[in-house]
Amino acid sequence: MWVSFAALALAPAASAQQPLDAVAVDVAATIVKSLRGSSPGVHVVVGDFAEQGGKSTLLGVTLADDFSAALSKHAEGFHVIDRVNVTTISPADLTNPAAARCYGARSGALAVVLGTLDELPDKVVLAVRVQEGRASLLDRSVEIALTDEIKAAEAQRRFNSSKPLWVNPNHPPDLNLEPPQAGTKGYSYPLCLYCPQSEIPDAAARSKFEGTVVLFVTITAEGFPSSITLARGLPCGLSQSAIDNVKLWRFRPAKDPDGKPVAARQLVEVSFHFF
């Protein structure tokens, strides 16, 4: 069983809650109706709402969080997956059938809610389309006014999104001081000395899900990872596996323009493939 929900978000209101809740009621009813007769334990995941070109935005992530919470209130006969492990995962990865086998647990059934944003000066324009395979099950349009509450939530997410997911307790970075980006302004790149491959989690192995996790890693002047921030994740436990592995890596540190070892921020890609 595979159901895909594509959302283009957007109609005026004093806050996002009322229009999002109204759409959530319709989406929940559509899920229940379309999944009648299917195996129990259907899971639903709300992906990041994105711009027309597919780029994820902080506003889209904020509205997707609100929509997921609204949908959870009306979930009867299905389970809405916590978005904590969904943000930074691309819509293409979420709609991969292999992800359905991960998130759908034993049943393998997964509904995905996606959104495409068209942001205007004072509102976001949203059209919701529910599909099962190629059949369109629901077509709705709403507008969401860009209220002070939404802007505050977006600003708070911007603050939180800059925080690392892991800080090395033995080699913590100075979180008040942004380290230089390796490979810019005369700073060299760190060189990986001990970088073993990450293990593929059981859920990903069972579903044969593969891809690349992208991390921002701050590396100390002694060559230790000191903090890790997730830039682009993958489902099926792959993001956490990448983070847990990179914690153990060791580097020859970057050097400043004078040739002295310094702490630097490095983009690290961790790939998972089956051969």
* DSSP per position, 236-250: TTHHHHHHHHHTT-E
Q: Tell whether 206 and 266 lie within a shared domain.
A: yes
**Residue 80 and residue 14 share a domain:** yes
User: 254 and 181 in one domain?
Assistant: yes
Do 194 and 128 belong to one domain? Answer: no
Among residues 44, 68, 110, the alpha carbon closest in space to that of 60 is found at 68
Q: What is the pLDDT of residue 130?
A: 65
Among 114, 141, 161, which residue terminates a domain? 161
Domain boundary among 123, 145, 161: 161
Q: Same domain for 67 and 95?
A: yes
The whole-number pLDDT of residue 41 equals 63
- pLDDT at position 265 is 94
Tell me how far apart the alpha carbons of residues 215 and 217 are, in angstroms, rounded to a whole number.
Answer: 6
For 141, the domain range is 2-161
Give yes or no: residues 10 and 145 share one domain.
yes
Are 119 and 172 contained in the same domain?
Answer: no
pLDDT tens-digit profile, the chain (275 residues):
444 445 443 333 335 568 889 889 988 988 888 766 555 567 888 888 888 777 778 888 888 888 899 999 998 888 888 887 787 888 778 878 788 778 765 455 677 888 888 888 888 887 767 665 455 667 777 788 888 888 887 777 776 667 788 999 999 988 778 899 999 999 999 999 999 999 999 988 888 889 999 999 999 999 999 999 998 999 989 999 999 999 999 999 999 999 999 999 999 999 998 77
Residue 227 has a pLDDT of 95
Q: Could you tell me if 240 and 266 lie in one domain?
A: yes
Among 133, 161, 189, the domain boundary falls at: 161
Residues 144 and 24 in one domain: yes
- Identify whether residues 104 and 186 lie together within a single domain: no
Structurally, how many domains does the chain consist of?
A: 2
Residues near 20 by beta carbon (within 8 Å), at least 6 away in sequence: 63, 66, 67, 70, 142, 144
In this structure, the strands spanning 110-119 and 211-219 are unpaired
Co-location of 25 and 147 in the same domain: yes
